Amino acid sequence: MAIDPAATDVVRQDASADSLGAEQAWLPASETVSRSASLPHPKATAVARPARRLRTYNIAFSVVCALLLVLMGASYRFLVRTGETTSPSAAAERQQSEDVLFGSALFFRPLPYKIALYKLRKPEVVIVGSSRATQFVRRGFTRPMANMGSMLDLMQVRRLLDAMLVEHKPKLIIMTVDFWWFNSDRSLNAVDLQPDGPGQLSLIQLVQPFIWIAQSKITVNEFLAGALSPSYEPHGIGVRAIFEHAGYDTDGVGDYGSELTDLHPRQFRDALFATTLAHVDEQTAHNKFNVRTPLDEKQWQNLVDIVSLIQANGVDLILILPPVSKVVADRLSAGGPPILLNELNERLARIGVPVFDFHDPTSFGSSDCEFIDGFHGGRVTYLRMLDAIARTGRTDIDSFVDRLVIDRLIAENVGRATFRDDERPGEHEIDFLGLGCKK
C-alpha cells in the first residue's frame, strides 16, 4: 500500500502535538505555566522595541527643549537688563538724570529718540541732518545745544522738524545736506515708521547674544552676569553702549566708542578708506554715490519746503555740505565733471540762507587723519567747520559759540577724530584707518 508523504507529515505534526500535550498533562501545574511563559511571543517583541525607542526619543527631545527654553530665557533676561528693549523715549528720559550712552545693537530708531530728547531739552541750537551731522558736539557752543542727526533722508528730516517746531522753536538750526539725497538714480529708502515703544524681540534676536559670544563681542561671564546677577547695573543703555562704549550721548551726539580705540583691537571696517572707495566705484544703476547724474527735482523741492518751514517759524538756518575725506573727494571728481555736485551748489547759492560748501576737507584745514571713515569727519573736523563759518562773518554764529574754546580744542587735537581729554581710562584713539596718522 502506497503511503502519501503529505499525510505522513500531517500525522507527524499531530503526533508531535499530542506528545507535547501529553507531556504537559503529566507535569505539575506550576512548571506548565513556567514553560509557557518562557516561550517568546513574536508580536510582543516587535512592539516592545519601538516603544522603548519612542520613549528614549521623547526624553531626549524634552531635554533639548528644556535646555533651549533655559537658554532663550537667559537671553531674554540679558537683553532686557542691558536695555535692548528700552523704548527710545525712555532712554532719552533716563539720560536727563544719568550721564550714559544709548546704543542698541538690535534696534535703530533715531527719529523717536531724537524727538523725545528735543522735547526734554528744548535747546536753543539744533543740529539736523544724517549721520554726517552727529559729530557736532556741545563743546564750543555757549547756548544749550542738541544734536538731531541720524535722519535717513529729507522725508525723515521733515518729520523731525514738524515734531520739533510744534513743541519748541530754537534760535538756530544748523543743517547738513548730503549730496546723494538729490541723486535721481538712487533707490529711495523704504518707509521707516520707527515706533517709540519697547523693543519686541524675535527668535532671531534672542539668538544674537550667543552669536556675539562666538564673535568675542561679549564674554560668557558678561552674558551670565547680565542674565543672572541680581546686582547687575550696567553703565549704559543697550549692548553697544555697555560693551563698546558706542551710541548717542546725552546731547544726541554720536560716539563711535571702541571702534576708534585700542579697547578691542580689530581690523577697522574702512581701513585706507577701502570700503568707501569700493562703494563709490560700484557700477550699478542705483549707486547713490554717483555724482555724474542729474539732480532730482522732487528732492530739491523737499529741501526748499524745509527751508521755508524753518524760516516761517522765525528760526535762523545755516546749511552745510559736509565733507568727505580728501581721497574720496578726489575719486568722486575723477572721470568726468561731477554734474550733481555742480548743479546742487548752483541752486544752493540761490536758496536764500547762508550755505557753506565743505565737501573738500582741505578747504578749511582738515585732513584724512581727522576722519572716521570716507564719508564721516570726526569731532575736530566739525569744530573746524564752525570756526570757518565764524570767520566769514556771514552769520550770527558768534552769538552761539566760543571761538577761543574752539581754537584751543582744535590746536590740542590736530590729526585726531576725537578729543584727547574725552578719552576713557585705558582707552586711546589709534590709527584705525591705517594711514600712519599720529594720534
Q: Residue 289 and residue 281: Cα distance in Å, rounded?
A: 8
pLDDT score, position 45: 57
pLDDT score, position 170: 98
CB neighbours (10 Å) of residue 412?
12
CATH number of 93-197+246-422: 3.40.50.1110
Residue 249: its H or E element? none
State pTM to two decimals. 0.86
pLDDT score, position 12: 39
Q: Residue 160 and residue 217: Cα distance in Å, rounded?
A: 33
3-state secondary structure of 52: helix
- Segment 313-371, tens digit of pLDDT: 999 999 999 999 999 999 999 988 999 999 999 999 999 999 999 999 999 999 999 99
pLDDT score, position 16: 40
pLDDT score, position 21: 40
Q: Residue 367 and residue 258: Cα distance in Å, rounded?
A: 22
Q: Residue 170 and residue 334: Cα distance in Å, rounded?
A: 41
3-state secondary structure of 183: strand
Asked whether the beta carbons of 281 and 331 are under 8 A apart, the reply is yes
Asked whether the beta carbons of 361 and 325 are under 8 A apart, the reply is yes
Q: Which residue has the cell 542705483?
A: 286
φ, ψ of residue 255 in degrees (nearest 5): -120, 120
pLDDT score, position 85: 97
pLDDT score, position 10: 34
Sign of torsion over alpha carbons 284, 289, 294, 298: positive
The crossing angle, in degrees rounded to 10, of helices 403-412 and 379-392 is 140
Question: How large is the C-alpha radius of gyration of the chain?
Answer: 36
Q: DSSP H helical segments within 82-219, as ranges?
A: 88-95, 110-121, 154-167, 203-214
Going from N- to C-terminal start, the domains of the chain cover 93-197+246-422
Which residue, 238, 280, 267, 253, is CA-closest to 91? 238
The per-residue pLDDT of the chain, averaged, comes to 89
Asked whether the beta carbons of 251 and 145 are under 8 A apart, the reply is yes
- Segment 366-418, tens digit of pLDDT: 999 999 999 999 999 999 999 999 999 999 999 999 999 999 999 999 999 99
Name every residue whose Cβ is closer than 8 Å to that of residue 112 and which is 6 or more positions away in sequence. 87, 88, 89, 194, 195, 196
**Spans of the chain, pLDDT less than 70:** 1-48, 189-193, 265
